[in-house]
Amino acid sequence: MNLLQVIFLSLLILTTLFILQFTRVVLRWAKVRDGGALPKLNRVLLGRTSDSGESANWAFYLHRLSGIAIALFLPLHILDVAVFAFIPSEFEELHAIYGTAPMRIFECGLLFGLLFHSFNGIRIILVDYLDLSTKVAAQTLQLLTLTVLFLTAWGSVIILGPVFA
User: How wide is the angle at C-alpha 39 spanned by C-alphas 35 and 41, nearest 5°?
Assistant: 105
Tens of pLDDT, residue by residue over 51-90, are: 556 677 888 889 999 999 999 999 999 998 999 999 988 8
Helix (H) / strand (E) containing 10: helix 3-34
Whole-model pTM? 0.84
Domains of the chain: 3-164 (1.20.1300.10)
pLDDT at 53: 62
pLDDT at 159: 96
Question: Is the CB of residue 113 less than 8 Å from the CB of residue 66?
Answer: yes
pLDDT at 109: 94
pLDDT at 33: 74
Q: What is the distance between the alpha carbons of residues 122 and 147, in angstroms, rounded to a whole number?
A: 13
Burial call 109-121: b when 16+ CB within 10 Å, e when fewer:
bbbbbbbbbebbe
pLDDT along the chain (165 residues), means of 10: 91 94 88 64 52 72 93 92 90 89 94 96 92 86 93 97 89
Identify the DSSP state of 35.
S
Q: What is the distance between the alpha carbons of residues 38 and 40, in angstroms, rounded to a whole number?
A: 5
